[in-house]
Amino acid sequence: MVFWWREELKAVPVQQRLLREESQKETERAVLKRKKEQEEEEEKKNKEEEEEEEEEEEEEEEEEEEEEEKEKEKEKEKEKEKEKEKEKEKEKEKEKEKEKEKEEKKKKKKKKKKKKKKKKKKKKKKKKKKKKKKKQRGCGHLSVRRELQLESKPCWHLELGLSAFKTVSK
């Protein structure tokens, strides 16, 4: 006859072994679980770090793009200013050309006026000469004219029978 407690006593080491094995398995599971959790945490951290790095890179790229855009805008503004300056210079040149043309027109008008005045003077001189020639009775020599004016006599050339309007050679 076997006593029940003996069986239990025999079963105790088996149970203990089973319990030990189960506890070992549980600890292994817990360790594996912890490892998995740690790996997951590390992966999460790595992913977060990668995402942060990517975000930083994207931000840097965006900043660089913004800077490039700003530089392009500055260059465009400089080009616009240069174009404006060129236009101003062109306008100044046009104004100078207009002024030159005006001055040339004025000069031409002055020349025309001078020519007209000269012509008028010449005409007046010619008229005066004609009048003087009509009045003159002598040869036109100064001394002769003075004498004639003083004495109111005909020219001595006329007395000799020469033409009254011939000039005297010196």
What residue spans define the domains of the chain?
Answer: 1-75, 117-170
Q: Are 145 and 153 a contacting pair, CB within 8 Å?
A: no
pLDDT tens digit at each of 170 positions of the chain: 555 556 666 666 777 888 889 988 999 989 999 999 999 999 999 999 999 999 999 999 999 999 999 999 999 999 999 999 999 999 999 999 999 999 999 999 999 999 998 888 888 888 877 766 555 455 555 555 555 555 555 555 556 655 544 444 44
CA dist., res. 115 & res. 66, Å (int): 72
CA dist., res. 168 & res. 20, Å (int): 166
